[in-house]
């Protein structure tokens, strides 16, 4: 029992670098269907925010894992939001999404060194947002469904941190 708990802690620590934002992150993004996404849309659920690009091999490798995670959790406790971090036209992106069976929402953002969630050091970059809207972790590099599930379990068991504003 102790070994499995320590393995989860080591896994969660190795998956995500320590990037904690104590106040809820604010974002307003529009997906390619025109639907608006804000932190309030995801209140009460874990949110996986994944920055990726169609030309990025590690990004392409993790898409099936993200789809599987999203499909398993979207009705219960967690969702994936993909952010295409390149300049491509909507027609191409829609075709790519269909060909890769991406079931989670995709928004577009032009390349930049930072995001509402934190710095982008490379692709893919994934942010884990708590049900309270706080960035609790991030990782540059590929993730799997199991990585995400284990990390959420790890962070669920952590004591709540007071926000910077005392809320």
- Where do the domains of the chain lie? 17-144
pLDDT band at 5 (very low <50, low <70, confident <90, very high): very low
Determine which of 53-57, 101-105, 118-122 has the lowest per-residue pLDDT on average.
118-122
pLDDT confidence of residue 27: 83
CATH homologous superfamily of 17-144: Glutaredoxin (3.40.30.10)
Any idea of the CA torsion for 26, 116, 69, 12, to the nearest 10 degrees? Answer: -110
Tell me what pLDDT residue 153 has. 95
Cα distances (Å, whole numbers) of residue 146 to 35, 62, 84, 137: 29, 12, 23, 16
Residue 1 has pLDDT above 60, yes or no: no
**The pLDDT value given to residue 24:** 74
Name the residue with higher pLDDT: 117 or 125: 125
């Amino acid at each position: 029992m102790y070994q499995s708990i320590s393995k989860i802690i080591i896994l969660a620590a190795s998956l995500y670098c320590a990037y904690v934002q104590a106040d809820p992150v604010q974002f307003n993004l529009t997906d390619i269907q025109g639907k608006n996404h804000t932190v309030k849309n995801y209140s009460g659920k874990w949110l996986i925010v994944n920055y990726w690009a169609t030309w990025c091999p590690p990004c392409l490798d993790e898409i099936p894992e993200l789809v599987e995670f999203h499909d398993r959790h979207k009705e219960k406790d967690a969702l994936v939001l993909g952010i295409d971090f390149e300049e491509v036209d909507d027609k191409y992106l829609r075709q790519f999404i269909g060909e890769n069976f991406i079931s989670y929402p995709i928004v577009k953002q032009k390349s930049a060194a930072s995001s509402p969630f934190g710095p982008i050091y490379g692709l893919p970059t994934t942010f884990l947002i708590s049900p309270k809207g706080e960035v609790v972790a991030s990782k540059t590099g590929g993730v799997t469904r199991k990585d995400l599930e284990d990390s959420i379990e790890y962070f669920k068991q952590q004591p709540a941190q007071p926000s910077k504003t005392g809320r």
